[in-house]
Amino acid sequence: MSKSQYVSNCTADSLRDAAAKLLAGNLVAFPTETVYGLGADACNADAVARIYAVKGRPADHPLIVHVSSMHRLGDWAEEIPEYAIKLARDFWPGPMTLVLKRSELARDFITGGQETVGVRVPDHVVARGLLEAFENLGGKGIAAPSANRFGQVSPTTAAAVVDEIGEYLDSSDQIIDGGGCAVGVESTIVDCTNDAPRILRPGAITAAMIETCTGIQVGKIADSPSLGVVNNSSEMISVDLIRVSGSLENHYAPAAKVLLCEIPTEGQGFIALASIETPPGVIRLASPRNDEEFAQILYSALRQADIQGLAEVVVTQPIGIGIAVAIRDRLRRATNGR
């Protein structure tokens, strides 16, 4: 894919053109506030099949359907519990995906054959403009996984999308350049199919925020030896390893080996909060000032390790209980390599 296929001037016309491409069965990669997504018409089986081909992703992994507003939730989901409505009202548009019982519209090629569907209203001016244009043309929703090859680091810039999947796209596909992503890690996935919400993947919307919003304690998932981290409500990860690809033990991995809990030595890359000094000879890749900034730069810093051809990158994890939980979740999986 050449640079000319980016749309940098995200005017109403260019977003309408991109929406028309989607409806015609093409793929459009677009920015969201979390990471860039690789979009296809969520009602078009052939277009969705191309997402899997471009990503190199196993076909039984479900996709998140993106819509422009919570009023569209009823198109895709049924039997929506009151607490899910509260979550949607408080956190949409935003970095949260709700997993609900699917409607007839959510076919097996979206849900991976499951009876549930993941739905999200993203909070990015370009994503929302694209979704509105798509819905104005009669579209129902845009299926979009992160726009990376399966198991690799999610892209947070348009240039990273080109590096990841550009060579697999056709000339009729498109990449929309909407700048860097503000959040930087993927949405919190909340399972809303039981009496209490459960976090399947941590993100910027934390367990504490969900509990405050719903007044319900976030449900516990049975311990699983392979997961390691299931011990308190803010650290919960899905045990459903096959169906939630983001919960696979090796994911989000750069080519460089990621090391945690180590003092970096000469020639290694290093990512840590700005308050932590760089030892001599160590290649500092990022110095975020707080946990939010850490999440925002994490994936581009891991990419930078690969661009610089580093064999190893040491990351000092943030210890907080907000978005730091999501950062530690992704880093733990990244340590398992590709």
Binding interface with ligand TXA (CB under 6 A): 32, 34-35, 37, 61-64, 97, 99, 111, 114, 116-118, 120, 122, 144-146, 186-187, 189, 200, 243-246
272 vs 297, beta carbon nearer ligand TXA: 297
- Pairing between strand 96-102 and 188-191? parallel
- Residue 50 binds which of ligand TXA, Mg ion, none (CB < 5-8 A, kind-dependent): none
93 vs 118, beta carbon nearer Mg ion: 118
- Please classify residue 320 by burial: count the beta carbons closer than 10 Å to its beta carbon, then call 0-12 exposed, 13-18 middle and 19+ buried: middle
Residue 79's CB is within 10 A of a number of other CB atoms, namely: 11
Verify binding: residue 268, Mg ion, rule CB under 5 A: no
156 vs 287, beta carbon nearer ligand TXA: 156
249 vs 262, beta carbon nearer ligand TXA: 249
CB 95 within 8 A of CB 154: no
81 vs 145, beta carbon nearer ligand TXA: 145
What's the chain's length in residues? Answer: 338
In the complex, what is the shortest distance from the CB of residue 314 to ligand TXA, in angstroms, rounded to a whole number? 26
Interface segment toward Mg ion; rule CB under 5 A; list 21-29, 82-90, 138-146, 224-232: 138-146
Query: Who contacts 212 (Cβ-Cβ below 8 Å, separation ≥6)?
Result: none
Interface segment toward Mg ion; rule CB under 5 A; list 10-18, 40-48, 100-108, 145-153: 145-153
Cis peptide before 93 (omega within 30 of 0): yes
In the complex, what is the shortest distance from the CB of residue 35 to Mg ion, in angstroms, rounded to a whole number? 7
16 vs 149, beta carbon nearer ligand TXA: 149
Interface pattern 90-129 for Mg ion (x via CB under 5 A): ----------------------------------------
- Residue 200 binds which of ligand TXA, Mg ion, none (CB < 5-8 A, kind-dependent): ligand TXA
Query: Who contacts 2 (Cβ-Cβ below 8 Å, separation ≥6)?
Result: none
Distances (CA, A) of 76 to 41, 96, 223, 311: 13, 16, 31, 44
State the alpha helices, DSSP H only, in 59-215: 73-76, 82-91, 108-111, 125-136, 158-165, 207-214
- Residue 189 binds which of Mg ion, ligand TXA, none (CB < 5-8 A, kind-dependent): ligand TXA
186 vs 292, beta carbon nearer ligand TXA: 186
Cα 38 to Cα 142: distance, rounded to the nearest angstrom: 9
- Residue 144 binds which of ligand TXA, Mg ion, none (CB < 5-8 A, kind-dependent): ligand TXA
Number of H helices, E strands in the chain: 10, 15
120 vs 328, beta carbon nearer ligand TXA: 120
In the complex, what is the shortest distance from the CB of residue 147 to Mg ion, in angstroms, rounded to a whole number? 9
Query: Who contacts 208 (Cβ-Cβ below 8 Å, separation ≥6)?
Result: 234, 321, 322
Cα 58 to Cα 319: distance, rounded to the nearest angstrom: 33
In the complex, what is the shortest distance from the CB of residue 320 to ligand TXA, in angstroms, rounded to a whole number? 20
Verify binding: residue 300, Mg ion, rule CB under 5 A: no
In the complex, what is the shortest distance from the CB of residue 187 to ligand TXA, in angstroms, rounded to a whole number? 3
User: DSSP assignment of 99-120, as one string?
Assistant: EEEE-TTS-HHHHTT-SEEEEE
Verify binding: residue 146, Mg ion, rule CB under 5 A: yes
Residues of this chain that bind Mg ion (CB under 5 A): 146
